[in-house]
Each structure stands twice: as C-alpha cells, then as structure tokens.
Amino acid sequence: MGQLIADGILTGAILSLGAIGVTLTLGILRFANFSHSELVTWGGYFALTFIIFAGTSAETFGPLSFGWPFVAAIIVAAVATALLALLVDALVFSRLRRRGAAEMTLVFASFGVALLLRHIIVLIFGPQAAYYTGTLQFAVEILPGVRVMPDQMLVLALTLLLVVGLYVMLKYTRLGIAMRASAESPNLARVHGIDVRVVVRWTWVIGGGLAAAAGVFYGLTVQMRPEIGFTLLLPLFTAALLGGSGSVFGAVIGGLVIGLSESLSVLIIPTGYKQAVPFLILLLILYLRPRGLFGDAAR
C-alpha cells in the first residue's frame, strides 16, 4: 500500500507539470489543446538529443544516475520545447485566432498538430524505447516497505520547486497578475493596458517549459517512448479538468489525484485496466462537477 502511494505521488507529480500547461491553455487561450501532451514527448526527446550529442558524464551526483550534462539537457529541453510551442502557435493557432475561428476548430487543429508532432518523433528516433542513462540505481527504503529511487526523489523535489515557483510568479509578479487577468477577461485586460498577445506568448513558454520538465522526468524515471504524449493525454486533461479550468493549484491537485488513483486502483482491479481509471474519473467530473474542484475560484 505504502509503495503504491509513493508510486502514485511520483506519477501524479509528473502529470501535474503537464496538466499545468493544459489548464493555462484552457484558461487563457480558451481551448482544449490536445497537442500539449506531445510537447511532453518532445521535451523528453530534446533532452535525449542533447545527451546524445553532448555525451553523459562519468561523474554522477552522489546516488543519482546523472551528472552536469543532464542538468544542461533539462534546461535545453525546456527552452527548445517553449520555442516549439511558440512556433506551433505562430504557424497554426494564432492564425486561426486571427481569423476568429471557433473553439472547436482550434481543438481539431490541435489533434492534427498532435499527430504531426508524434510522427515526427517516430520518424527521427524510431518507435523503440530509449533511456537517458545506463547507470544502475538501487532503490532506497524511505519508510518500512516503501522503496524509492534517488532519481524519483529528486523529480519530486524539482516538481515541488517548479510548482511553488509558478505559484509565486502567478500570485505576485506583474506577468502573473496579467496572466490571471487575461484568463478572466481578455478585453478588460486590454482596456487596462495589458497586451494579451504577450501574455499568450508567455503562456506557451511556461506551458512548454513545464511540459518539457514532465517529459524529461518521465524519461528519467520510466523510459522515453514516442507515444508518451498519447499515453498521458487523457490523464493530463482529466487532471486539468478535475482541478478546474485555469486553476494551477487545481491542476497540481488533479495530477496527484489521478496519479494516486491509477496506482491504488491495482488493489481492486487488474493492472491492465488501471489506464481506464482517469477516464472513469473524467466521466465522474463531467457528471458531478463540470467546473472542477477549483474552477475559477482558485485562479
């Protein structure tokens, strides 16, 4: 039971990072971007590409499986994924917004972008799984019966750091307040001098950067596969909707709930069915609380 909770928290943390981007897009750009989960995959592969070219260091950080090159790879992946998100917006979504496209048009366009992004990865890297490092790690017993890899603990700590950093940014900085204002009413934000186009660009940058972190953390603690985005699509959206559209705090809680539910579900259903759990939760949210747990109120 304790081990399942630990596994669930780790999965949930990674889902939270991806779900934050989904909820920001829902709140500020006002459409469900089904290509967001592919940014997670691209983030992971950007880091892999950097490691392939830069090589891995023989020296690792204590019990961790990586050294400085991997830290650089995370930063490169975040920047590259943010730029990719901006590029996709410039080529597809912003053009549709300028033409006054309906929300559903943007949603279907995002499906197309998702397919394109996924298959470019397959074309370049092939369909097989890949790993950042071949270093063997031994799990550490942190509580009786609960063993966690050092990399997993670091991923949790970094996720917490990113979430707290984002919360502080949204709550106290000029950009954060502009983002929250634009999410509630773009026109009112414009009236008060906020250039919503700049806010939109920052939304892509932040969402893309966090998606990259999620992809790298997934690759580090599980493995890299071209279909990571497809696998995470439903859990990410369920986490974002559970938390409430536009609520960063909600997305984090949503991610943890989905991660824990998936993990603990194996106590009552066969392991092969655990991926159906987010779908079940999504149905329940839509039926019982369509605005999510923290919709609007927690922005």
Partner 1 sequence: MSSLLAVNDLVAGYAADLPIVTGVSLTVSPGELVTIIGPNGAGKSTLIKAMAGLVTVMGGRVELDGGDITGIQTHKLPSSGIGYVAQSANIFTTLTVQENFRASGHTLGRDMHDRIAEAYEIFPDLAPYKDKKGRVLSGGQRQMLALGMTLLCRPRVILLDEPSAGLAPAIVQDVFARLRGLADSGLALLMVEQNAHAALELSDRGYVMAEGAVKIEGGANDLLEDPQVAEIYLGKRRAQ
Residues of this chain that bind partner 1 (CB under 8 A): 174, 177-178, 180-181, 183-185, 187-196, 296-297, 299
How many Å apart are CA 205 and CA 30, to the nearest integer?
16
Q: Which is nearer to partner 1, 147 or 291 (CB)?
A: 291
Return the closest-CA partner of residue 228 out of 18, 30, 65.
18
Integer Rg of the chain from CA? 19
Least distance from partner 1 to the Cβ atom of residue 249, Å: 13
139 vs 198, which CB is nearer to partner 1? 198
Name which of 190 and 274 has its Cβ closer to partner 1: 190
Q: Is there a contact between 80 and 142 (Cβ–Cβ < 8 Å)?
A: no
What backbone torsions phi and psi does residue 66 show, to the nearest 5 degrees? -140, 170
Give least dist CB 198 to partner 1, A.
9
* SS3 category, 141: strand
Residue 214 to residue 7: CA distance in whole angstroms: 15
Query: Residue type for 200, please?
Result: V
Query: At 273, phi and psi to the nearest 5?
Result: -95, 0
Minimal distance in Å, beta carbon 243 to partner 1? 15
Nearer to partner 1, 194 or 232 (CB): 194
- Smallest distance, Å, CB 165 to partner 1? 19
What distance in Å separates the CA atoms of residue 282 and residue 273, rounded to the nearest whole number?
A: 15
Q: How far is the CB of 247 from partner 1 (least distance, A)?
A: 10
Nearer to partner 1, 179 or 282 (CB): 179
φ, ψ of residue 147 to 5 degrees: the values are -115, 135
State the nearest-atom distance from the C-beta of 21 to partner 1, in Å. Answer: 20
Cβ nearer to partner 1, comparing 21 with 244: 244
DSSP string, 243-270: H-TT-HHHHHHHHHHHHHHHHHHTTTS-
Q: How many other β-carbons are positioned within 10 Å of the β-carbon of residue 244? A: 28
Nearest distance in Å: CB 211, partner 1: 25
Q: Which is nearer to partner 1, 92 or 175 (CB)?
A: 175
